[in-house]
Amino acid sequence: MSNFDLSPEQQSLIELARDFGEKEMRPHVEHFDQTGEYPWPIIKKAHELGLMNTHIAPEYGGLGLSVLDGCLIAEELSSYCSGMYTALEANGLAQAPLIVAGNDEQKKQFLAPMTLEPMMAAYGVTEPHAGSDVQGIKTTAKKVGDDYVINGSKMWITNASVASWYFVLAYTNKELGFKGMTGFIVPASTPGIEVGKKEKNLGQRCSDTRGLVFTDVKIPSKYRLGAEGDGFKIAMKAFDHTRPPVAAGAVGVAKAAMNHAMKYATERKTFGVPIAKHQAVSFMIAEMAMNIEAARLLVWKSAHEIDQGRRNTKFAAMAKAFAADMCNKVCTDAVQVFGGYGYSTEYPVEKLYRDSKIFQIYEGTSQIQRLIISKEIFERNA
């Protein structure tokens, strides 16, 4: 990417995702938001069309698309329903540790089948008492013969009840701090796993968020990712791949909110003119346009860096924080443009407003992104 022009293939990807959003997602958005049902029919169709698992390498049956390609798809799908998009993206998050650190046998066993049929996976790091502070997790994995026995609880795990397998971070040696953490792939069918109730969330209601309890869950050591002690590094490196598309998802939600606000501002009249003619309103929308564009550029930059094989941690954190904060502001202002109607569930910006909040929380809060950026700047001179 030496300029901002997308290739014809990338343009086609955007059109494919937009067409899918228009035909397969838009008619069902309200239903899934109201019922909180898991959007299986949408996921199955997305899988058929090749809009899922785009980053799995061709040798495992995937398309091997770039992170930037994934971001282009993410922005489109999320602009239709970020709840449905999160269900898809959580698959990408679970797969990322395998892509980063899995061996050939592990990739064949866990990634390849996902390209053949719609299967979900989940990323299990957060615990009831530890989210931002990953070192505070309590889950342990004890080596017993050629197996590991996992005990502990996870919390807020997206796709928990529909996943075929989980990426699980656990301590194999607590005394070593983050260097004593190890990552595992745990098939969901393993005895000893209890899946919690679905959380009733503010937004993105069709996304499946639950707790998991592991009681003497025995898995063979061949399901360990990398070496003992590599887990923290693997879990964090995964975010370098997934924060750009999550940020793109926030751009998609903001874009949808702005489009609704623009349309309404040209239709709604006060004092004899469309409200878009009031500078206070048109400037609100100009701010939206400016910040959406800026966020998109950061998303593309963060994706481009990792696609070139360069460390993108700083840019990924910048894109995630900026896009998430921007999305919240844009959705708040979109409700404002709608006045009283913006507050009603009858109008679309209310859902976007609810959906926007999670972008500042999952995959690292906006505060934690700033912590990462400052560490990258001060300690790594990035």
Ligand X SMILES: Cc1cc2nc3c(=O)[nH]c(=O)nc-3n(C[C@H](O)[C@H](O)[C@H](O)COP(=O)(O)OP(=O)(O)OC[C@H]3O[C@@H](n4cnc5c(N)ncnc54)[C@H](O)[C@@H]3O)c2cc1C
Question: Is 190 strand, coil or helix?
Answer: coil
Nearer to ligand X, 282 or 366 (CB): 366
Nearer to ligand X, 72 or 122 (CB): 122
Q: Is 11 in the site for ligand X (CB under 6 A)?
A: no
302-341 footprint of ligand X as x/- string (CB under 6 A): ----------------------------------------
Q: Is 83 in the site for ligand X (CB under 6 A)?
A: no
Q: Which of 39, 124, 211, 245 is close enough to bind ligand X by CB under 6 A? A: 124
Cα separation of 305 and 5, whole Å? 16
Active site residue 346: no
Cα separation of 324 and 291, whole Å? 11
Cα separation of 43 and 183, whole Å? 27
Q: Which of 57, 195, 371, 382 is close enough to bind ligand X by CB under 6 A? A: 371
DSSP 207: S
Cα separation of 34 and 40, whole Å? 15
Nearer to ligand X, 156 or 264 (CB): 156
Is-contact 58 65, C-beta < 8 A? no
Identify the burial level of 242 via C-beta atoms within 10 angstroms of its C-beta, where 0-12 means exposed, 13-18 middle and 19 or more buried. Answer: buried
> What are the φ and ψ backbone dihedral angles of 214, each rounded to 5 degrees?
-110, 115
Nearer to ligand X, 166 or 300 (CB): 166
193-212 footprint of ligand X as x/- string (CB under 6 A): --------x-------x---
With the C-alpha atoms ordered 268, 271, 274, 276, is the resulting torsion angle positive or negative?
negative
Catalytic residue among 89, 228, 305, 363: 363
Q: Is 214 in the site for ligand X (CB under 6 A)?
A: no
Q: Between vectors from CA 117 to CA 114 and to CA 123, what angle results, nearest 5°? A: 35
Q: Which of 60, 110, 123, 359 is close enough to bind ligand X by CB under 6 A? A: 123
Place of tokens 């959580």: 90
Is-contact 260 348, C-beta < 8 A? yes
Q: According to CB under 6 A, which residues from 236 to 275 bind ligand X?
A: none
Q: Which of 54, 78, 95, 126 is close enough to bind ligand X by CB under 6 A? A: 126
Nearer to ligand X, 92 or 342 (CB): 92
Catalytic residues: 363
Which residues of this protein are in contact with ligand X, per CB under 6 A? 90, 122-126, 131-133, 156-158, 201, 209, 358, 361-362, 364-365, 367-368, 371
